[in-house]
Amino acid sequence: MKRHPLAALLICAIFPTLIMTASAQSSERLHRPATAHDAAPAPLHKWAVVLHGGAGVIERSSMSPEAEKQYRDGLNQAITAAGDVLNKGGSAMDAVEAAIEVMEDNPLFNAGRGAVFAANGTNQMDAAIMDGATMRAGAVADVQYTKNPIALARAVMEKTQFVMLSGTGADEFSLQAGLQQERRSYFFTERRWQSLVQELRKENLPIPLRPVGVPPPPPGQLSFFESPDNHKYGTVGVVALDQHGNVAAGTSTGGLTAKRWDRIGDSPIIGAGTYASNESCAVSGTGIGEYFIRYTVTRTICALVQYRHMRLQAAADEVIQKQLAPIHGDGGVIAITPDGQIAWSFNTPGMFRAKLREDGKPEIAIYHDEP
Ligand code: ASP
């Protein structure tokens, strides 16, 4: 159809804003090639993720270059796994789970494979995950056969009406949920075993038999992978902010070497070792769990952000440096807020840690004097 030139003028006079908007959009398109995402609404938030692989007596003098490289590689792998999820628009929950599973599968960290031993020679693992968007949470304590306890914690959240399961009941639920199970020998590492032996000797306690199916102790000089681990707190934890503005936190651990009587630490306790709320922040802790439980460390940090309107770093320092350090509550935290603040704070000589933002590269650190 042919239109009279005056008709076009009339339309311009009546709908100037329409014309302006349309031309602004088309001029933007001139500078940006069309992509598959053009139809989707622009993300409102830049994503970010922070993780820890445990805090403790981690010093340059006691770490060989080989060991240091292994740890840095392991942290890099985990943060990259989380970054990949977030970059594709995945949820903070999925990012937390992905990164924790990488560290649970890495025998260097005290979680999943590589978990420390309890005094009776078993691996008793704890884990928790919390979704800041819904305040839903799942946790497990003292589980012994699940390859990835963080996946079990998430299954508790998603498939049951409960928050926390423990011991044989949690192992039974894990089977029913179809999660991968492993024999005791899968979780065995020589250096964690040697740490147990050392600790039990110190405490004058009997040394249990080596688990069935594990190799005999290596003869001669022990390598880095076999020598006792004095870093003590190798728990892993991740906090993430996704493109939808939601935060989540997760923590997974074997607990403390030579723990007794089915002791449960802070990691699976919501508000102690793990907490997330879109109203304030997401935090994961590592350290001597008994202090983190009594000082409700992760919830307290978020309460300072929520009610005292403190900046995240100041809130984390308030609890870790001012409250815990003077009473020898050794440990640290990583934290993130829905508005993109990230923080870490620890009162030990080191903490394995890493962070990554949407527009940056992974930043990995171990010692106190690193940024
Ligand atoms: N917090 C953990 C616990 O007490 C240990 C750790 O962080 O390494 O079980």
* Distance spanning both ends of the chain, measured CA to CA: 67
Q: Whose CA is nearest to atom 7 of ligand 1?
A: 286
Residue 21: is its pLDDT beyond 50?
Answer: no
Run of H or E including 243: none
Residue 7: is its pLDDT beyond 70?
Answer: no
The rounded mean pLDDT for the chain is 88
CB half-sphere exposure, 307, CA atoms < 13 A? 6
Helices (H), the chain: 5-14, 16-31, 65-87, 92-104, 149-159, 167-176, 190-202, 289-294, 297-307, 312-317
List, for residues 189-236, the tens digit of each pLDDT value.
999 999 999 999 999 999 999 999 998 888 876 776 666 766 666 899
CB half-sphere exposure, 30, CA atoms < 13 A? 6
Give me the percent of the chain exceeding a pLDDT of 70: 85
- Measured in residues, the chain has a length of 371
Reply yes or no on whether 235 is catalytic. Answer: yes
Q: Whose CA is nearest to atom 4 of ligand 1?
A: 289
Residue 332 CB less than 6 A away from ligand 1: no
pLDDT value at residue 36: 43
Residue 237 CB less than 6 A away from ligand 1: no
Q: Whose CA is nearest to atom 5 of ligand 1?
A: 255
pLDDT value at residue 12: 38
CA of 296 to the centre of ligand 1 (A): 14
pLDDT value at residue 38: 46
Structure tokens at 274: 């793990």
User: Is residue 326 helix, strand or coil?
Assistant: helix
Q: Whose CA is nearest to atom 8 of ligand 1?
A: 233
Q: Which of 80, 235, 298, 300 is catalytic?
A: 235
From CA 303, how far away is CA 281, in angstroms rounded? 9
Residue 255 CB less than 6 A away from ligand 1: yes
Q: List the one residue out of 255, 226, 216 whose CA is nearest residue 116.
A: 255
pLDDT value at residue 43: 52
pLDDT value at residue 64: 86
CA of 329 to the centre of ligand 1 (A): 11
Residue 30: is its pLDDT beyond 60?
Answer: no
Q: Enumerate helices (H) and strands (E) in the chain, giving the number of each.
A: 10, 12
Question: CA 151, 149, 177: angle at the middle one, nearest 5?
Answer: 55
List, for residues 44-84, the tens digit of each pLDDT value.
679 999 999 999 878 887 888 898 999 999 999 999 999 99
